[in-house]
Amino acid sequence: MRISELAALVGVSTRTVRHYHHLKLLPEPERLANGYREYRLRDAVALARVRRLAELGLSLDETRDALADDQGRELREVLLELDADLARQQEKIGVRRNRLAALLAETDLHPDSTVSPEMAAMLRDLPAGSSKSAEIDRELLALMDTVADPADRAEFIDLFRPLTEPEAVARGHALYARLDELADADPGDPRVTTLAVDLAAYLPDEMATAMVANLDSAPDHMCPPGADSVENTGGGQWLKTMYAEVSAAQIEVFRRVMIMLKERG
Amino acid sequence: MRISELAALVGVSTRTVRHYHHLKLLPEPERLANGYREYRLRDAVALARVRRLAELGLSLDETRDALADDQGRELREVLLELDADLARQQEKIGVRRNRLAALLAETDLHPDSTVSPEMAAMLRDLPAGSSKSAEIDRELLALMDTVADPADRAEFIDLFRPLTEPEAVARGHALYARLDELADADPGDPRVTTLAVDLAAYLPDEMATAMVANLDSAPDHMCPPGADSVENTGGGQWLKTMYAEVSAAQIEVFRRVMIMLKERG
DNA sequence: CTTGACCTTGTCGTAGCGTCAACGTGTCCA
DNA sequence: TGGACACGTTGACGCTACGACAAGGTCAAG
């Protein structure tokens, strides 16, 4: 048999056969005078052995070990481990398909695949308009949605639900407008204090307690090492990032709001 | 934000962020005077978008396309296709796990993972001993077992089942011994004719019909193009391969057996 | 001044082959 | 006998999504 015949017999490509020779999975057969490889029945059997194990999902290295180990013993362990691995893969794929299904159901209504369906629903109900501050808030929410793990996410979304009530939305629009006005203002502007007071009153009590708790002990990936608290109010990376996005007066508003929430919480 | 902060925020490595820049999945942000990348909130949002799609199982190329296509339209198609693909993967893994389970159950008894459990069971019952001819037959059976697709395999194994009956096994041993004796004989040896007659009588009728049918119309991967019939008896690659393994007298026996089977079939 | 923790770009390695490239060989046919 | 054509040979690059270096620059603290 020549190489293409062997390959066709077992159902692989000639490249695969040569690859297996290279990896020493398959012994090199005799060569004819012209350098062609000359295969015999035992080579076909050996190749078929390799394929069987490889098709079960063993890597070629594992396949070599399994065949070298003279059948038995360690092979069982490898196979059991492989089965466990396959089970994990199956489960992961299941999870992804579930998320896909949820996402597909949601994209019928609002085609934003970059946030979870729950967050997408909430973003529709929160105040938006043309406010720059609102836009930043929405970006932050979307970001937290993708970054937080699912358990935290549900809890986190519930925190904002009170703000989706119609009357809360109306108040929100007004507050965002007042925040926008401070874009070019001084941190000592008198409007800072009054807005902070109204904003703190606007936020629900649960957010106060949650915020105080979370800002001091957020998951590691939200507060990377080295990101220390800003202005003594806690919050690490999040506030540090916002610091670059908004004006000093607006930052001052947030700082005062945080302090008031801390006192309430 | 610097790169490590962004990476920690979204939960990826800095290498990943740079990789995405390289692939133009993520726009390069402004640089500081020292050449450091300076990230802002929108970069984190963009990175999180990419991760969400990538974690759903889209390739990075697909992710770029999906995000570039301005949300909607084609994205749904991509996601649906992805879901179908995941379903296929899940099913394939299920099949492999089933085979693994069968194999693990069987290896308790007889640790040969290189053939199917059914074939392993049959090989235990077929005549073996120290006969070289029997050994070649067993290799051929093992090879066909791995090469044939599952549907054919069950049918194929049933064909040989009659030969596993105790009395058939006894007759088989004797026939293999007589075949071995012809290893160095001449194709014109008188024992060739008598052995062919006995061998044909030994093989069950169903094998006669099946063999006639299969030898002329085997699946492509069993009869690669260019492998023509040998000695006018059909059989393509299989016989051609055996031709190199056994003596001319033994080949002559097979040829006569085939002819007799053909007449019976 | 050194140390250490960052940052930069660039390159190699991974698994399992597919897919050229560049070349030799064997057969068939005009 | 010469050319087409289908084989064979080795060698090297490509693919995914980064990880793991290397070799060097930058910056704050001790």
Partners of residue B38 on adjacent β-strands: B30
Over residues B60-109, the pLDDT tens digits come to 998 888 888 665 566 777 788 888 888 888 888 888 888 888 777 776 65
Instruction: Please tell me the least confidently modeled range out of A182-191, B30-39, B66-75, B171-180.
Output: B66-75
Average pLDDT (B213-219) is: 54
Query: Per-residue pLDDT tens for A45-84?
Result: 999 999 988 988 889 998 888 887 665 566 777 778 888 8
Residue A228: exposure state from Cβ atoms within 10 A (0-12, 13-18, ≥19) = exposed
pLDDT (average), residues A100-121: 73
The yes-or-no verdict on residue A226 having pLDDT over 90 is no
**What pLDDT is stored for residue A232 in this prediction?**
36
What is the pLDDT, as a whole number, of residue B233? 39
pLDDT mean over A183-204: 91
Q: Is A209 on the interface with B (CB under 8 A)?
A: no
Among all strands, which nt has the closest C1' to B62 (CA)?
D16
- The answer for B 234-253 residues in CB contact with A (under 8 A) is 237, 240-242, 244-245
Contact B146 A104 (CB under 8 A): no
Which residue of A113, A119, A222 to mutate against B (max B Cβ within 10 Å)? A113
3-state secondary structure of B70: coil
Of B76, B114, B227, the CB nearest to A49: B114
Of the candidate ranges A14-28, A225-239, B81-95, B198-212, the one whose mean pLDDT is the lowest? A225-239
pLDDT higher at A37 or A103: A37
Give the rounded percent of residues in chain A with a pLDDT score beyond 90. Answer: 25
Q: pLDDT > 70: what percent of chain B? A: 82
| CA-to-C1' span, A251 to C8 (A) | 32
- The reported pTM is 0.78
Segment A251-255 shows an average pLDDT of 84
- Residues whose CB is below 7 A of strand D: A 2-5, 14, 18, 35-37; B 12-13, 15-16, 19, 33-35, 54, 59-61, 225-226
Inter-chain touch A244–B142, beta carbons under 8 Å: no
Considering only CB atoms, A42 lies closest to which of B10, B42, B139, namely B139
CA distance, residue A70 to nearest chain B CA (Å) = 10
Please report residues of A whose CB lies closer than 8 A to that of B149: none
Confidence band for A39, pLDDT divided at 50, 70 and 90 = very high
Q: Is the pLDDT of residue A17 over 60?
A: yes
Residue B175 touches partner A, C-beta closer than 8 Å: no
- H/E stretch holding A30 reads strand A30-31
Q: How far apart are CA B223 and CA B261, in angstroms?
A: 20
Q: What is the pLDDT of residues A114-155, one digit of tens each?
A: 777 788 888 888 888 788 888 888 888 888 887 777 777 888
Which pairs from A114-120 meet CB under 8 Å and 24+ separation? A114/A142, A114/A146, A114/B48, A114/B49, A114/B52, A114/B53, A114/B67, A115/A142, A115/A145, A115/A146, A115/B52, A116/A145, A116/A146, A116/A153, A118/A153, A118/A154, A118/A157, A119/A145, A119/A153, A119/A157
Q: Chain A contacts of B8, Cβ < 8 Å?
A: 220-221, 224-225, 237
- What is the average pLDDT across A229-241? 49
pLDDT in tens, B31-54: 999 999 999 999 999 999 999 889
Task: For tokens 């890597």, name the residue.
Answer: A59
Nucleotides of D under 7 A from a protein CB: 7-10, 16-21, 26-27
The predicted pLDDT at position B151 comes to 74
Residue B146 at interface with chain A, using a CB cutoff of 8 Å = yes
Tell me the per-residue pLDDT of A153-162, one tens digit each, with 9 for 90 and over: 888 888 888 8
> Is B112's Cβ below 8 Å from some Cβ in A?
yes
Distance in Å from C20's C1' to A15's CA comes to 13
Distance in angstroms (rounded) separating the CA atoms of residues B14 and B26: 13
- Mean pLDDT, rounded, for B146-163: 80
Supply φ then ψ for residue B37, to 5 degrees.
Answer: -75, 140
E strand or H helix at A241, and its extent? helix A236-243
B18, with CB counted inside 10 A (0-12, 13-18, 19+), is: middle
What angle (nearest 5°) sits at the alpha carbon of residue B4, between those of residues B18 and B68? 40
pLDDT at residue A55 in the model = 87
Share of chain B above pLDDT 90, in %: 21
Which nucleotide lies nearest residue A19, CA to C1'?
C17
Model confidence band, residue A27 (pLDDT cutoffs 50, 70, 90): very high
User: What is the phi/psi pair of residue A236, to 5°?
Assistant: 50, -130
Is B40 in Cβ contact with A244 (below 8 Å)? yes
Listed residue (A242, A180, A120, A128) closest to B39, CA to CA: A242
Which chain B residue shows the shortest CA-CA distance from A145? B48
Give the residue-averaged pLDDT of A17-30.
Answer: 95
Chain B interface mutation, best of A13, A37, A97, highest count of B Cβ atoms under 10 Å:
A97
pLDDT at B28 exceeding the cut of 90: yes
Shortest CA gap B133–chain A (Å): 13
pLDDT of residue B225: 37
* Shortest distance, CA B64 to any CA of chain A (angstroms): 13
